[in-house]
A = this chain, B = another copy of it.
Amino acid sequence: MTDLTTLGEIGLIDRIRQATPAPTHPETVLGIGDDAAVFVWDDENYGLLSTDVLVEGIHFDLTYVPLKHLGYKAITFAVSDIAAMNGLPIQVTVGLSLSSRFPVEAIDELYEGIRAACEAYNVDLVGGDTSSSRSGLILSVSVLGKVPKDLITYRSTAQPNDVICVTGDLGAAYLGLQLLEREKQVFLADPNMQPNLSEERAYLVQRQLRPDARTDIVHELRDLGIRPTAMIDVSDGLASELLHLCRQSRTGAVLFDENLPIDDQTHLAADEFKISPVTAALNGGEDYELLFTIRPQEYDKLSTNARITAIGYLTADPSQIVLATKAGQQTPIRAQGWPSESQ
């Protein structure tokens, strides 16, 4: 028998993918291999389908995650996969397993967050499945999305010289998690201690507890007349996502460390935790920003856009995916593991 940990999450998914037969329905355009599966919706549009599972004790800790935020975050996870295909969400279903230790009011709170997210992302909550569990809470969200055929954006279609862009800022959700974990330890040591989550930390905690999927960017790119050459959402950290994009597009990449968008609060907290802010940005994960590439001649259209930052460019050599410093030094970018991986 082979221990699951020797394979790793990515290895497990590769194993599943390789053993999965090619799709047979004429409706299926793409199966496993991107942020969402793709099917032919009608003459003008593709449909998108994606599923995410959130498990208590793995993806969230109810010691410090309010159920309302958890509900919101679960929808964010799913919607982010649709945004990463340059699409917009239409319907979601929520599968819920929970033990009887949860009172009815807890479920109300969870669904309050789910509904708030559905409203924010303009998506219909259309069904699901509710069942008992022996322990803990498990949320499974599936989402149906739509994208015009001429705008769909895969991970695999970038070209050398394309400009690498990222939305928002990176690393804040990871430092938010460090803050919450530290306060939890303080609380466990002395339950009378008040949490020390000052105003200056509010942004980091919010980024961890209630991240937003960037459907606004999908609208913005359409307004700007830009179709990215490739796109992926930053759920597992920029490094990991860039490696996926480069592997699937068969390109290399150069990222400029000084260009990485990192919030002031992230810098301050990183100093405090003695973590390099660049490492937090590259490997922290859970930012739910969009990483995308555009043709160099399109760059002018968004060079002054405050919500999008150019952080590097793609190269022709797939073996060279590097972080470049101002001083000219280049170090290879590697991915860190993460306990969850979408197929």
Contacts and interface: CB of A to CB of B under 8 A. Distances in A.
Nearest to A20: B125
A274 interface: no
- Count of identical protomers in the assembly: 2
B105 A55 contact: no
A103 B12 CA distance: 11
A201 B15 CA distance: 36
Contacts of A133: 55, 57-58, 138
21 contacts: A1-B104, A2-B105, A4-B98, A4-B104, A9-B130, A21-B125, A25-B91, A31-B124, A37-B91, A47-B144, A50-B93, A51-B142, A53-B129, A53-B131, A55-B97, A95-B140, A129-B340, A129-B342, A132-B339, A134-B136, A142-B142
A118 B16 CA distance: 14
B39 A104 contact: no
A68 interface: no
Interface stretch (A107-115, A252-260, A282-290, A327-335): A107-115
A124 B77 CA distance: 23
Interface string A35-50: 0110101110001011
Interface string A62-103: 000000000000000000000000000011011111101011
B58 A131 contact: yes
Nearest to A119: B21
A12 B104 contact: yes
A127 interface: yes
A250 interface: no
B135 A37 contact: no
A134 B55 contact: yes
B90 A25 contact: yes
A222 interface: no
A100 B4 contact: yes
Contacts of A30: 126
Contacts of A90: 25, 27-28, 39
Contacts of A4: 98, 100, 102-104, 107
B131 A55 contact: yes
A30 B135 CA distance: 33
Contacts of A107: 4, 12, 15-16
Nearest to A23: B124
A90 B53 CA distance: 21
Contact of A125 (B32, B119, B122, B123): B32
Contacts of A115: 19-21
B57 A134 contact: yes
A51 B340 contact: no
A3 interface: yes
A219 interface: no
B21 A100 contact: no
Contact of A93 (B49, B146, B339): B49
A103 B144 contact: no
Nearest to A110: B16
A5 interface: yes
Q: Which of A5, A122, A128, A340 has the most CB of B within 10 A?
A: A128
A138 B97 CA distance: 9
